[in-house]
Amino acid sequence: MTASTVPAHGIATGKHPGFDTTLVSEWTKLRSVRSTWILTGLAVVLSIGFSAAIALVMGLTSEPFDTWSEADRVMSDPVTSSMPGLLFSLILLIVLGVTAVSSEYSSSTIRTTFIVNPHRIRVWSAKAIIVGLLGIAVHAIAVPGMFLTSQAIYGAYGLKTASVTDSEATRFLLVVALVVPLTYTLIPLSFAYLLRGTAVAITAAIGFLFLTSNLAPLLPAWIQQHALRYLPDVATNSLSGLTPPGDVTYLSPLPASIVVVTWLVGSLAAAAFVLNRRDV
């Protein structure tokens, strides 16, 4: 008797699904899971709700803006201060990016996926597109919601407000709504392909995207300038205007854009390479 083995790239019979069919399949798998809607719903509700609560507390405890000193007026930034709830959406986007992949490994449905469609790169790219677009959709609701809700509360209590037409506000909102969700979904998605486990991938992604930037003030300026500012989250802060020119971690828009794109492409390419080489 002889034993047969399944090739690493699966078994395919008949015509393989096209890329459009693969996109539809990946979207169907993602939207049919209850956790997807729980994560996206919580990302929107918690981010807007927490930002509104913080704005309300500021309104109740602060003096009207007209009575502030000149130094306090200069330091005040109604744009960034309107988004403390962003932390919730970013963490939940990380979880979304990881579980979109790891749930298939834990349930072994990824084997069925590659039997039906043995073109692994096609499946990988379709999943990355769907997860990235879903992340953008979440922030397309959450970011304007946080900003507009907070500004309305600031205005009601006589605090300094910002308009969406302000150049700095527009730049910040566009980067946070379009670039940030790609970073916080696709890099964790890549980690999930590399590590396969849900807990370890989420931990690694949170540590990579949060811990390094939070530790930056504690590290020597040389390390901040020559290492930390080339990390994706730190470069995104420069791109959005959150990091001011002259700061040791600041990058001008073009280098910051190159850093972010390099990390996105590099992490996805590493995931594709590993996926195409390892058995499932």
pLDDT tens profile 86-113 = 999 999 999 999 999 999 998 888 898 8
Amino acid at 271: A
Residue 100 domain-assigned (yes or no): yes
Q: How confident is the model at residue 9 (pLDDT cuts 50, 70, 90)?
A: very low
Any domain includes 49: yes
Closest of 149, 151, 150, 147 to residue 174, by C-alpha: 147
Whole-number mean pLDDT of the chain? 88
Per-residue model confidence (pLDDT) at position 3: 42
3 found inside a domain:
no
What's the pTM?
A: 0.89
In which domain, by residue range, is 67 found? 19-277
Q: What does the block give as tokens for 16?
A: 């393989």
The kind and range of the H/E element at 125 are helix 120-156
71 within a domain of the structure (yes/no) = yes
Domain count, the chain: 1
If residue 35 lies in a helix (H) or strand (E), which one and from where to where? helix 34-61
> Mean pLDDT lowest for which of 7-21, 83-97, 154-168, 198-212?
7-21
Reply yes or no on whether the pLDDT at 11 is more than 50: no
User: By the 8 A CB rule, do 82 and 12 touch?
Assistant: no
pLDDT at 77: 81
pLDDT for the residue 278: 83
Q: Are 48 and 150 in contact (CB under 8 A)?
A: no
The Cα angle at residue 197 between residues 193 and 199, in degrees rounded to 5: 125
Q: Is 14 inside a domain boundary?
A: no
Q: What would the two tokens of residue 6 be?
A: 């399944």
Local structure of 118: helix, strand or coil: coil
